[in-house]
């Protein structure tokens, strides 16, 4: 594609499962411009290892998937949204298969795996532990086969353009470092998660909460921001990324051991290593604290399992750990918990519609309420598919509701660089603050301190000119939203745990937090 158009029919920001599925749905209705800020292969979708859940097997029922999802959400799921997810999920997966997605099979039969908190075997995998990569490959190929869709890499969207209460386009920094605008009938935010808010995260570098920050700044409502899921087991090596070590490893029988090599999970939960994610993450934090180590971690131990089976079932995990000289069939794996998934995001209805006209959100950037206070494993790829398709469908009705605002190049600028050491330091400061004070175990004093410090940092993110400075501003914005929402929720629920209110308070807080500008309410 030669340059970006000054106007188009639909802009989809994000080329993960949600954005690509929405674009495919929109293709018949008009021209669709899909933007990715780096390569299409750099997204949370690409890294999803565990699988995708749906009630497709003979032994399963939609009602059981519904119940398991509601249980994981700890009372806070929007049951209508979950109903949509589990009822439409199987059809969306069959469609994916028809478009060429290869899920693992035994002969011709799909193989359904079992995961913690799922009452039936309902998880589809691709090449063992590369499910997201395979889904993304197939969706991208399908999108590329449709003439009205243009998927453009390295285009960094910075903000939404509004006229009154309506979104009419976006501003971006192009691959060439030029500030541009594109007008359109509707925008979908499919920008994924915000794991980069935290010092330790399983998310790739693109997950900086851009969509949530753009929507918030434009005046849209965001919801459930306090609920960040921490994955208990990410590889912990000083100079390596926090590579995810899937839940399925514990499903296959892996043990957790503290640095004295003792198994400890039985002290914390009757299900031991198979306890819910948040329980395991808090248990690990406690073991790390009592170890008093300067640089604490615990171990994941697979050495008692059948080595050949482990290699066959987890080829990507095996190969990645081998790159760091860890043979998972013989060596203990050092791990720490890491920020993994944002349950909250841009508040939408069941069709992905946000609170501003012309604005939609889907996938991890959205808050439909489908995950409640804690996400059931393997439900998020499914959410991206189901709600991506729904948002695409709903956006069709926006076509030419408003005359697209003509955009085009704005001004030449050195907006792609150079790398600013001050910005990197600032981002590091935000990540440490969030990890220490708005992380797995939250205290009143820590949350207060983090809000105050973030507010003090506001002038440093006020006028971003480079991509990285925009990311810093977005992380700062998302961090404040998480901290404010966490402080306001005076209870513990799902992934949100605070020491001063360790129990549920259903009377006051069986509701969703909603933030718009300075106002915060529970609905």
The residues annotated with a catalytic role in the active site are: 277
Looking at residue 496, what DSSP letter applies? B
385: nearest Cα among 6, 70, 36, 24: 24
DSSP state string for 94-161: HHHHHTT----EETTEEP-B--TT-SS--EE-STTT-HHHHHHHHHHHHHHTSTTEEEESS-EEEEEE
Stretch that binds ligand FAD, among 66-74, 81-89, 361-369, 436-444 (CB under 6 A): 361-369
Q: Which of 23, 36, 55, 423 binds ligand FAD (CB under 6 A)?
A: 36
Decide if residue 77 touches ligand FAD (CB under 6 A). Answer: no
Rounded distance, CA 345 to CA 367, Å? 5
CB atoms inside a 10 Å sphere around CB 397:
12
Taking residues 383 to 422 in sequence order and writing x for each that binds ligand FAD by CB under 6 A, - otherwise, the string is: -x--------------------------------------
Comparison of 191 and 450: residue with beta carbon closer to ligand FAD: 191
Decide if residue 192 touches ligand FAD (CB under 6 A). Answer: yes
Shortest gap between Cβ of 337 and ligand FAD (angstroms)?
A: 13
Stretch that binds ligand FAD, among 200-208, 286-294, 428-436, 491-499 (CB under 6 A): 200-208
Decide if residue 45 touches ligand FAD (CB under 6 A). Answer: yes
Please list, in sequence order, all residues whose beta carbon lies within 8 angstroms of the beta carbon of residue 123, skipping any fewer than 6 positions away: 50, 51, 52, 53, 112, 113, 114, 115, 378
Segment 284-303, which members bind ligand FAD (CB under 6 A)?
none
Shortest gap between Cβ of 50 and ligand FAD (angstroms)?
A: 3
Rounded distance, CA 456 to CA 479, Å? 13
Would you call 400 exposed, middle or buried from its count of C-beta atoms within 10 A (0-12, 13-18, 19+)? Answer: exposed
32: nearest Cα among 19, 17, 18: 19
Decide if residue 8 touches ligand FAD (CB under 6 A). Answer: no
Q: Which of 9, 10, 11, 19 binds ligand FAD (CB under 6 A)?
A: 19
User: C-alpha angle 236/239/244, rounded to 5°?
Assistant: 40
* Strand 10-13 versus strand 32-35 pairing type: parallel
Decide if residue 143 touches ligand FAD (CB under 6 A). Answer: no
Shortest gap between Cβ of 521 and ligand FAD (angstroms)?
A: 26
Decide if residue 227 touches ligand FAD (CB under 6 A). Answer: no
Comparison of 136 and 451: residue with beta carbon closer to ligand FAD: 136
DSSP state string for 254-287: -EEE-TTS-B-GGGT-TTGGGS-HHHHHHHHHHH
Decide if residue 132 touches ligand FAD (CB under 6 A). Answer: yes
Rounded distance, CA 294 to CA 200, Å? 16
Comparison of 195 and 446: residue with beta carbon closer to ligand FAD: 195
Shortest gap between Cβ of 113 and ligand FAD (angstroms)?
A: 10
Decide if residue 466 touches ligand FAD (CB under 6 A). Answer: no
Shortest gap between Cβ of 18 and ligand FAD (angstroms)?
A: 4
Decide if residue 50 touches ligand FAD (CB under 6 A). Answer: yes
DSSP state string for 438-470: SSSSB-HHHHHHHHHHHHHHGGGGSS--SHHHH
219: nearest Cα among 516, 522, 518: 516
Rounded distance, CA 338 to CA 234, Å? 6
Q: Which of 210, 273, 301, 398 binds ligand FAD (CB under 6 A)?
A: 210
Shortest gap between Cβ of 360 and ligand FAD (angstroms)?
A: 13
Rounded distance, CA 8 to CA 151, Å? 13
CB atoms inside a 10 Å sphere around CB 522:
14
234: nearest Cα among 247, 251, 217, 221: 247
Segment 231-270, which members bind ligand FAD (CB under 6 A)?
244
Q: Which of 69, 185, 380, 513 binds ligand FAD (CB under 6 A)?
A: 380
Stretch that binds ligand FAD, among 216-224, 380-388, 425-433, 504-512 (CB under 6 A): 380-388
Helix or strand or coil: residue 515? Answer: strand
Length of the chain measured in residues: 523
Decide if residue 337 touches ligand FAD (CB under 6 A). Answer: no
Shortest gap between Cβ of 183 and ligand FAD (angstroms)?
A: 17
Shortest gap between Cβ of 225 and ligand FAD (angstroms)?
A: 16
390 contacts 159 by C-beta, under 8 angstroms: no
Decide if residue 15 touches ligand FAD (CB under 6 A). Answer: yes
Decide if residue 341 touches ligand FAD (CB under 6 A). Answer: yes
Shortest gap between Cβ of 489 and ligand FAD (angstroms)?
A: 22
Number of residues that bind ligand FAD (CB under 6 A): 44
Shortest gap between Cβ of 290 and ligand FAD (angstroms)?
A: 28
Decide if residue 206 touches ligand FAD (CB under 6 A). Answer: yes
Decide if residue 376 touches ligand FAD (CB under 6 A). Answer: no
Comparison of 202 and 329: residue with beta carbon closer to ligand FAD: 202
Decide if residue 203 touches ligand FAD (CB under 6 A). Answer: yes
Decide if residue 194 touches ligand FAD (CB under 6 A). Answer: no
Decide if residue 9 touches ligand FAD (CB under 6 A). Answer: no
401: nearest Cα among 165, 182, 166: 166
Rounded distance, CA 238 to CA 28, Å? 48
Q: Which residues bind ligand FAD (CB under 6 A)?
A: 13-19, 35-38, 43-45, 47-52, 131-132, 155-157, 190-193, 202-203, 206-207, 210, 244, 341, 363-365, 378-381, 384
């Amino acid at each position: 594609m030669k340059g970006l158009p000054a106007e188009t029919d639909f802009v989809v920001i994000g080329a993960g499962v949600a954005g690509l599925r929405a674009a495919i749905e929109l293709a018949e209705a008009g021209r669709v411009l899909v933007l990715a800020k780096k390569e299409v292969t750099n997204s949370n979708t690409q890294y999803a290892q565990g699988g995708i859940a749906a009630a497709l097997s003979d032994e399963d029922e939609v009602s059981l998937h519904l119940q398991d999802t509601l249980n994981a959400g700890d009372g806070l799921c929007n049951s209508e949204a979950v109903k949509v997810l589990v009822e439409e999920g199987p059809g969306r997966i069959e469609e994916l298969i028809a478009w060429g997605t290869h899920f693992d099979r035994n002969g011709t039969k799909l193989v359904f795996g079992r995961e913690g908190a799922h009452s039936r075997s309902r998880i589809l995998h691709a090449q063992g532990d590369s499910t997201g990569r395979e889904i993304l490959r197939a969706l991208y190929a399908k999108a590329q086969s449709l003439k009205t869709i243009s998927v453009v890499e390295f285009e960094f969207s910075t903000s939404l353009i509004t006229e009154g209460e309506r979104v009419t386009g976006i501003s971006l920094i192009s691959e060439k470092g030029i500030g541009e605008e594109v007008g359109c009938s509707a925008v979908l935010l499919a920008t994924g998660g915000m794991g980069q808010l935290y010092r330790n995260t399983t998310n790739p570098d693109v997950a900086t909460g851009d969509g949530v920050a753009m929507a918030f700044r434009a005046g849209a409502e965001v919801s459930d921001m306090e609920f960040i899921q921490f994955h208990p087991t990410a590889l912990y090596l000083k100079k390596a990324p926090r590579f995810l070590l899937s839940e399925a490893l514990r499903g296959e029988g892996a043990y957790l051991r503290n640095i004295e090599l003792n198994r400890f999970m039985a002290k914390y939960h009757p299900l031991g290593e198979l306890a819910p994610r948040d329980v395991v993450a808090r248990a690990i934090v406690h073991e790390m604290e009592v170890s008093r180590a300067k640089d604490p971690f615990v171990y994941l131990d697979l050495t008692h399992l059948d080595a050949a089976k482990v290699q066959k079932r987890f080829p990507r995990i095996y190969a990645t750990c081998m790159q760091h000289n860890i043979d998972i069939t013989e060596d203990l794996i050092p791990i720490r918990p890491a920020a993994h998934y944002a349950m909250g995001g841009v508040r939408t209805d069941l069709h992905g519609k946000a609170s501003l006209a012309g604005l939609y959100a889907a996938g991890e950037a959205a808050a439909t309420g489908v995950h409640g206070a804690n996400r059931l494993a393997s439900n998020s790829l499914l959410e991206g598919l189901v709600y991506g398709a729904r948002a695409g469908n709903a956006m069709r009705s926006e076509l030419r509701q408003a005359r697209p605002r003509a955009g085009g190049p704005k001004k030449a600028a050195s907006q792609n660089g150079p790398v600013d050491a001050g910005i990197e330091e600032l981002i590091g400061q935000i990540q440490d603050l969030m990890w220490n004070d708005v992380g797995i175990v939250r205290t009143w004093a820590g949350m207060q301190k983090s809000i105050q410090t973030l507010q003090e940092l506001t002038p440093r993110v006020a006028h971003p000119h480079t991509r990285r400075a925009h990311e810093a501003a977005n992380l700062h914005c998302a961090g404040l939203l998480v901290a404010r929402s966490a402080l306001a929720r005076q209870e513990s629920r799902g992934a949100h745990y605070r020491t001063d209110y360790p129990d549920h308070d259903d009377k006051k807080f069986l509701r969703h937090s909603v933030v718009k500008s300075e106002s915060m309410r529970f609905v």
